[in-house]
Copies of this chain bind each other. A is one copy, B any other.
Amino acid sequence: MRSFGADTRLPTLAVVLDIIRERGAVSRVELADVTGLTPATMTHAVRKLTELGLVHEVGTVPSNRGTPRRLMGIKADACYMVGVQLDQFAAVGVVVDLAGRIVVRRDMPPAGQRPLAEVVADIAAAVHGMLEDADVPSGKVLGIGLATYGPQDREAGVVITPHPTPEWTGYPLAETLSEATGLPVALENDATAAGLGVQTAGGSGSSFAVVFMSGGIGGGVILDGHPYRGVTSNGVELGHISVDALGADCPCGNRGCLDPVAGPRPVVERALENPVLAARLGLGTDTLTDFNRIGRAARGGDAAAAALIADSAQRLAVATVTLVNMFDVGRVVLAGQAFAESGQAYRDVLEEWLNRSVFMRHVHTVEVDLADDVALAAALGGAAVVLRNLLESPNPELRGAAEATA
């Protein structure tokens, strides 16, 4: 049996909740007008969201028909979502309320090359610490969205990557973290999560691509508010597209891949080959820290550092042209910890290159933006995934609804 419904179903509840969140206080009529949904569908959606305890009446406005229109608003403290982004060199978590506000954030110990049991224990402790800081009872937490490396079996919550250590191949990351925290855990690709995080901050229903750069390079595409996933949620692997058909073999199986020629790791390696530069910038900590030191120096006018960033940016630009030529989007957003210092430099190179080189540039231009907070976008997206999974499920039930509405 094939189901045509699963992937094309309109996630009405998510759409409606997003708009109520964006507008603050909104009537059913206005909701129907903005979404294009029928009044009956809208009434059903608002009722379901009210039953779930996610929205409530926040006031009324006079209407032409005599009966005042009721305005619906988000119950911001009805429930909370935790988002965590984890990779070898960076880890950060957020607790987000239903209105999308960050209640607390916390830097966590990155994965490094440590045993995963230790990594998971650290995340669990950090999550509990965040909830304590924010005074949020765990009964009000819908779950944790964990954004990390692909490839992954997203539905099973299992990572399928040999990076950063072979232990990651087939590791049940979601289940292990769920056991350690007592909370449901949803796994998500970090670049896709960054896209969802950008969308949470910047408006629903939009279309754009994400270039994600932390310890490595990844990609994501959001189209009309929905992540492009492909058949196994492992699409948009920007770091492992070939930018040189005759280039070096990559451990991924491909050759001349973008990440090993333009990512933070090769940039840092090239810098370390220059002992004077390495000493001047104080390199030698870890890839991401060193990369951001190079970025800061480039910004400050260090010519050698600027040349390294410019070379990486040009190669990334070539791959981003491919990304845009493949997905036909009019906006590219840069996110991830590696853009913390050099984001503006990359942005400028990419925008210039894209508008000179993309195939459909006579049809539309391409805008390049930095995410509002490059370091938090993926964690924010992790939090968004938790709510989205709930609202897109066939019959959503709110975990801890009793506590939430009590």
> Which residues of A approach B to under 8 Å, CB–CB?
1-10, 15, 33-37, 150-151, 153, 160, 169, 205, 207, 219, 223-226, 228-238, 240-246, 252-256, 314-315, 318-319, 321-323, 325-330, 356-364
Contact = CB atoms under 8 A, between A and B. Distances in A.
Contacts of A364: 231-232
A255 B357 contact: yes
A204 to B, nearest CB: 8
Nearest to A261: B245
A318 B223 contact: no
Given A219-B326, A244-B246, A256-B318, 14 more contacts: A8-B10, A8-B224, A228-B228, A231-B328, A231-B364, A232-B363, A235-B327, A236-B326, A236-B328, A237-B325, A237-B328, A241-B325, A242-B322, A254-B357
B326 A326 contact: yes
A386 to B, nearest CB: 21
Contacts of A325: 235, 237, 240-241, 254
A243 B242 contact: yes
Nearest to A323: B326
Given A205-B4, A224-B8, A245-B315, A359 B253 contact: yes
A79 to B, nearest CB: 24
Contact of A151 (B160, B238, B255, B362): B362
B10 A322 contact: no
Contacts of A253: 356-359, 361
A206 to B, nearest CB: 9
A240 to B, nearest CB: 5
A225 B169 CA distance: 32
A35 B9 CA distance: 13
A357 B240 CA distance: 10
Contact of A5 (B10, B33, B237, B318): B10
Question: Which 8 residue pairs across A and B have the least CB separation, nearest first?
Answer: A230-B328, A235-B328, A234-B360, A3-B36, A237-B325, A241-B322, A253-B357, A243-B245
Contacts of A241: 321-322, 325-326
A160 B363 contact: yes
A257 to B, nearest CB: 9
A207 B4 CA distance: 12
Nearest to A250: B357
16 contacts: A2-B36, A3-B35, A5-B10, A8-B9, A8-B224, A151-B359, A151-B362, A160-B362, A230-B328, A231-B364, A232-B360, A237-B328, A244-B245, A245-B314, A253-B361, A256-B318
